[in-house]
A and B are shown apart, each in its own frame.
Chain A
Amino acid sequence: MTSTHPDAGTTHTTPTAMPSSTDATGGRTAPARDGRRRKGHRAGKIAPWALLSPAMTVLLLMTVAPAIYLVWSSLRNDTLLGAGGQFVGLRNYQDALTNPAVLKSLLITGAFVLVAVTVEMLLGLLLAVPLAAQSRSNNLAAALMLLPFAVTPAVSAMMFKELLNPNYGWIDYYMGALGLPAHVEWLSNSGTAWLALIGLDVWQWTPFVALILMAGMQSLPKEPLEAAAIDGASTWQSFRHITLPMLAPFLAIALTLRTIQAFKTFDAFKILTGGGPGASTEIINLGIYRVALQSFRIGAASALAMVLLILLSLLVPLLLRAVGRNADPEEA
């Protein structure tokens, strides 16, 4: 029997227990009159769907419906103003998948997600340890920690851009003052442009990971750790063999959410580099935006979008299964 959630503050009176039996699946059979049970049973069948349908409608409208349109449109050479509009079969897909620029941008997107999420997970874990440990000064720490997460991504991208300006930016100035190489043209070289973009993402999202892991650590029972300490285990050993495994569900949540979010990144890349220098930071989202909303070649853009969607559909369920296994509350 699960305990009441710690945050449920409302008190309520437990209704007088009525004799009821539970069958194997957890459903109930009530000792009521036949008529009512039949009604209740039917209502029990319709009710979930009725409750679910508004949300499902919106989701279907925003995901399945667009996907259907995209599939249809990707098989044609539609443009927004009506030129084209003929069925062209798989040609848009062929164009997309044989275009080295497109393939490169898919790789770049994948590389960005991989690096950014890895750094954020590691850094988040590192920061979660001190965050979880103390209490008083940590209220302040945790509060400050969360601030970057709340800043509008478009705004933070603009702030970073100004800070990195090699002529006026603070970063350039203080790096010089500290003796580090100055006048780094951050956005002019692909290596430093990558550093800037990953840095921005890490700045914005590490708090998210750190706080999830912190909450996880704080909710872990103390006994195993204390027992291990008594048995003479080192800090590292108890961390690795006790804390980490117990933290698994939290790590899974953080990893999955962050990975999905990372694939959606758009603002930072558009504002900081626009895909440059060269094509080194051209993630697939920028390409889709350009073809769809600046060239208005809807058919071609739809094919690109479908390629992205298919890739995500293959990748994400793998991650979700990991989360699901660890985090489904019904799997006790």
Chain B
Amino acid sequence: MLSFTPRARRTRSVVCVLGAGALLTTGLAACTPSAGGSDTSGGKPKTLHMLYATAEADAAAVQSLVPAFKQKFGIDLQIDTQPYDALQQKVFSESASGSSYYDIMIVDTPWAPALVGKLEPLSKYINNSKLNDMAKTDVADFIPKVFYDTAVYDAKTPNRHFPQATGAPDTGAITKAGFDVYGLPIQANALVMGYRKDMFNDAKQKSGYQAAAGKPLEVPRTWDDYTKVAKYFTQPDKKLYGTTVMAGVGDWATDDFKSLLAGWGGDGHLVGDDLSLKFDTPEGVAALQYYQDLINKQKVVPPGSTSASWDETASLFGSGKTAMTMNYHPLTLDSGVKGEIGYATVPQGKAMGPHFGTWMLGINKNSVNKDWAYRAITWLTAAEQQVTMTKKELHPTRVSVYKQITGNSDTDAAERNFYQVLGDSLAVGVGRARLTNYTEVSNAIAKAVNTAASGSKTPQQALDGAATEVRRLLTEAGYKVPSS
């Protein structure tokens, strides 16, 4: 027979359960890897914490500099790398919570309009000679378009672009116009054309093309030639195609489109500083028509292109399925594919405006080591360091660095080719509109591009639909859209 004793037992059981629960939670919390904090004694900190991206901004390159940094500064640079989605969420939530953990944060340009209030304005640091002792900031050396597009903002009206975005950057002029510098650009990606040099140099292909098109086979310089060359190389039965497009629903489609739009003479920013829409225009329709024809009429792209993004495109070119491609980084061919890769700027239409996507290193306004963080980012983005990092495929942001790489005969020829083209592209590239809800706007436009690309709507219909949606999105985000 079971026997029980009264209350004491029950109390003990309750205590047991609660105790176990408490232990469990504490134990779990204790097991959690701790976040730590940057230690500072008011002077030089022992550690600086930096939040960085992964492959999109060539993290390996920056990580390779950590030992040299330690030697020069005597500070440990702790780099946290995150893939894109998680990185954005982390940058935003760290900024929102006012955390001082990260001294330096990498910022992708579309995020900057929302983040401007949480980043430290750098003009007074740049002008302070005492803080420029570790490296020369030399703002004027940055590629103008890259610098103005990436790092210069008007905190009061974040959607404005700096009015005179030509000529070497000058902090004085910037602050006089009511803007400020909010970071130093570290990585600059631009849309660049890659092609199979071996196929273009092949004698049989050359004569074949000459016969078919009546002109020599060359890397296309106009969009017309681009189509012709792509068509020539397309042999679906041999699983060979002319080129690739990224027409899946996502940022990549928007970027494809805005590059074409600029090529047709339109404004590649898609939305103007005055919030008027620049894509629902005759140029936009013409550009999108070209895109649609490339895919559906000329059929020069591999199957699946209307759901392709960056990775499929890279895979397709890498496996030797296409003669040309357009992408944002140096390409490699798979081990089984024998060939040579050449690079060129995207073809020229009425104008040329390849999309560029750039990253900058900004300083957390809440950091307690702002002076040292500033010194760190000047050193990391200095010419000497950028040259070193290009060995790990960083895409530099300084004019002098491009001059040095392309002028150096020791550099691998293919590499020199790429950097020459990248530098030329960045000089004429076009960035994005500065909208706090850029992701949503880009998604609306990408949907339109994708719909037109698949042929289910005409470019005019697709762009009209996108225009309505974008106007709605801008209004929802609090912008005052001018009535068209």
Chain A interface (Cβ < 8 Å from any Cβ of B): 15-16, 36, 39, 43, 50, 54, 77, 79-84, 95, 99, 101, 165-168, 183, 185-189, 193, 273-279, 290-291, 293-297, 300
Contacts and interface: CB of A to CB of B under 8 A. Distances in A.
11 contacts: A15-B2, A80-B92, A81-B95, A81-B96, A83-B436, A168-B315, A188-B304, A188-B454, A277-B249, A277-B450, A277-B456
Contacts of B7: 39
A278 B21 CA distance: 49
Given A276-B249, A277-B249, A295-B436, A95 B476 contact: yes
A169 to B, nearest CB: 9
A104 B307 CA distance: 21
Interface in B1-40: 1-2, 6-7, 10, 14, 21
Interface in B436-454: 436-440, 443, 447, 450-451, 454
B482 interface: no
B115 A15 contact: no
B304 A81 contact: no
Tell me if A's interface is mostly helix, strand, loop or mixed.
Answer: loop
B437 A276 contact: no
B447 A278 contact: yes
B352 to A, nearest CB: 29
Tell me if B's interface is mostly helix, strand, loop or mixed.
Answer: helix
A172 to B, nearest CB: 8
User: How many interface residues does chain B have, given as a range?
Assistant: 35 or more
B307 to A, nearest CB: 4
B391 to A, nearest CB: 32
B349 interface: no
Nearest to B462: A278
Given A81-B114, A188-B306, A290-B439, A276 B447 contact: yes
B443 A290 contact: yes
A274 B248 contact: yes
B88 interface: yes
A84 B477 CA distance: 9
A165 B321 CA distance: 14
A278 B307 contact: no
Given A189-B454, A297-B477, A36 B437 contact: no
A276 B476 contact: no
Contacts of B216: none
B93 A80 contact: yes
A85 B109 CA distance: 24
B114 A277 contact: no
Nearest to B114: A81
B472 interface: yes
7 closest A-B pairs by CB = A276-B249, A187-B307, A166-B303, A188-B306, A166-B304, A294-B439, A295-B437
Nearest to B253: A276
B2 to A, nearest CB: 5
A15 B4 CA distance: 12
Given A165-B304, A188-B306, A273-B249, A81 B437 contact: no
B316 interface: yes
Most buried by B among A43, A81, A275: A81
A277 B114 CA distance: 29
Contact of B307 (A50, A95, A188): A188
A136 to B, nearest CB: 43
Contact of B114 (A39, A183, A273, A296): A296
B302 interface: yes
Contact of B472 (A39, A99, A274, A293): A99
A194 B409 CA distance: 54
B440 A84 contact: no
Contacts of A83: 114, 117, 436, 478
Given A273-B249, A277-B249, A294-B88, 7 more contacts: A81-B115, A83-B436, A167-B316, A188-B454, A273-B307, A274-B249, A291-B440
Nearest to B304: A166
Nearest to A193: B307
Contacts of A16: 1
A185 B114 contact: no
Contacts of B206: none
A99 B468 CA distance: 11
B161 interface: no
Contacts of B450: 276-278
Contact of B21 (A39, A54, A279): A54
B250 interface: yes
A43 B10 contact: yes
A50 B21 CA distance: 14
Given A39-B7, A185-B307, A277-B307, A167 B92 contact: no
A164 to B, nearest CB: 9
Contacts of B303: 166-167, 183, 185, 188
A25 B377 CA distance: 75
Nearest to A300: B476
Given A189-B454, A277-B454, A278-B249, A297 B476 contact: yes
Given A83-B114, A290-B440, A36 B304 contact: no
Contacts of A39: 6-7
Contacts of A77: 478
Given A36-B6, A188-B454, A278-B249, A81 B447 contact: no
A79 B436 contact: yes
B469 interface: yes
Contacts of B250: 274, 276
Contacts of A185: 303-304, 306-307
Interface in B95-126: 95-96, 114-115, 117-118
Contacts of A43: 10
B54 interface: no
B127 interface: no
Given A15-B2, A290-B439, A279 B114 contact: no
B89 interface: yes
A297 B93 contact: no
Nearest to B21: A54
A117 to B, nearest CB: 26
Contacts of A300: 476
Given A79-B114, A278-B451, A101 B248 contact: no
B1 A15 contact: yes
Nearest to B452: A278
Nearest to B441: A295
A168 B476 CA distance: 42
A185 to B, nearest CB: 5
A77 B478 CA distance: 9
A84 B92 contact: no
A50 B315 CA distance: 59
Contacts of B476: 95, 297, 300
